[in-house]
């Protein structure tokens, strides 16, 4: 049995554009990797030779300034495709947040796939278009929202995008990344993120003391905050 044929996330990824019969080709042109937390997948500015499809875990994408300031531009989880660029080099870096599994494609193989499967290209266009819409939403957050609104938006987005019903708890939000990562994603400092989360707890909008998971008590108030209504 060929690996890609039994891939459990195939229908969530770009790979669903490939026919069953041709998955053999796909399996040959890709390689499955399992990576520990905080592994560098992509080095900012290095030659763009490989592309990745995340099959488990979460990857952080970021850009940095010479003095070390960093902005995380997104978190890529199951199904996401990484590494596209027009220049010959990556314009961003990528590191694993937790333990991550990826399928790695090398450039020549990817170009063959693109040439042979119009559907594959169609899927990529859709994915990149989606990422662009998310990026625009994030620009609104970074440019115009207060700290409280940013944290509320972040928690809400994770609640909606990630059902996370593994535990019995209602409205549980998992936060696999550290406070540093959250801060670098929201354009804040870790202190401000920490203080803001504490404030939301004080206001009974969220609850739970676990650093990597909280529970939302009032999704509607969180939603109100995220879209800028004072209080809620």
Using the contact rule CB under 8 A, the part of the chain among 27-35, 64-72, 97-105, 204-212 near a copy of itself is 64-72
Q: Which positions ≥6 away from 123 have C-beta within 8 Å? A: 14, 16, 17
Binding track over 17-56 against a copy of itself, x by CB under 8 A: ----------------------------------------
Decide whether 71 or 218 has the Cβ nearer to DNA.
71
Distance separating alpha carbons of residues 14 and 120, to the nearest angstrom: 6
Using the contact rule CB under 7 A, the part of the chain among 27-35, 92-100, 118-126, 142-150 near DNA is 142-150
Distance separating alpha carbons of residues 1 and 152, to the nearest angstrom: 45
Distance separating alpha carbons of residues 229 and 206, to the nearest angstrom: 17
The binder of DNA chosen from 9, 24, 190, 232 (CB under 7 A): 190
92 near a copy of itself, rule: CB under 8 A: yes
Number of residues that bind a copy of itself (CB under 8 A): 44
Decide whether 82 or 97 has the Cβ nearer to DNA.
97
191 near DNA, rule: CB under 7 A: yes
- Least distance (Å) between residue 180 CB and DNA: 5
152 near DNA, rule: CB under 7 A: no
Binding track over 106-135 against DNA, x by CB under 7 A: ------------------------------
178 near DNA, rule: CB under 7 A: yes
Report the helix count and the strand count for the chain, using DSSP H and E.
7, 11
Question: Between 147-161 and 219-226, two packed helices, what is the crossing angle to 10 degrees?
Answer: 130
- Least distance (Å) between residue 93 CB and a copy of itself: 11
Decide whether 6 or 126 has the Cβ nearer to a copy of itself.
126
126 near a copy of itself, rule: CB under 8 A: yes
Evaluate whether 117 touches 123 at the Cβ level (below 8 Å): no
Backbone angles phi, psi at 137, to 5 degrees: -60, -40
∠225-128-60 over CA atoms, to 5°?
A: 60
- Least distance (Å) between residue 164 CB and a copy of itself: 24
Residue closest to 85 by CA, chosen among 57, 70, 63: 63
* H-helix segments, 6-92: 23-29
């Amino acid at each position: 049995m060929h690996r890609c044929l039994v891939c459990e996330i195939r229908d969530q990824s770009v790979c669903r554009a490939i026919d069953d019969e041709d998955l053999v080709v796909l399996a040959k042109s890709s390689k499955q990797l399992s990576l520990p937390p905080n592994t560098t997948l992509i080095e900012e500015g290095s030659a763009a030779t490989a592309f990745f499809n995340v099959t488990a875990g979460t990857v952080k994408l970021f850009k940095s300034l010479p003095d070390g300031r960093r902005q995380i531009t997104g978190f890529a989880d199951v199904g996401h495709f990484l590494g596209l660029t027009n220049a010959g080099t990556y314009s961003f870096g990528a590191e694993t947040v937790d333990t991550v599994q990826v399928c790695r494609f090398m450039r020549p193989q990817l170009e063959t796939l693109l040439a042979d499967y119009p559907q594959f290209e169609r899927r990529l266009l859709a994915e990149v278009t989606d990422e662009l819409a998310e990026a625009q939403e994030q620009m609104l957050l970074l440019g115009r929202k207060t700290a409280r609104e940013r944290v509320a938006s972040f928690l809400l987005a994770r609640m909606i995008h990630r059902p996370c019903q593994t535990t019995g708890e209602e409205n549980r939000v998992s936060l696999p990344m550290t406070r540093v990562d959250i801060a670098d994603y929201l354009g804040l400092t870790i202190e401000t993120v920490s203080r803001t989360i504490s404030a939301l707890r004080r206001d009974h909008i969220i609850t739970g003391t676990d650093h990597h998971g909280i529970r939302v008590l009032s999704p509607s108030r969180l939603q109100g905050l995220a879209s800028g209504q004072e209080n809620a």
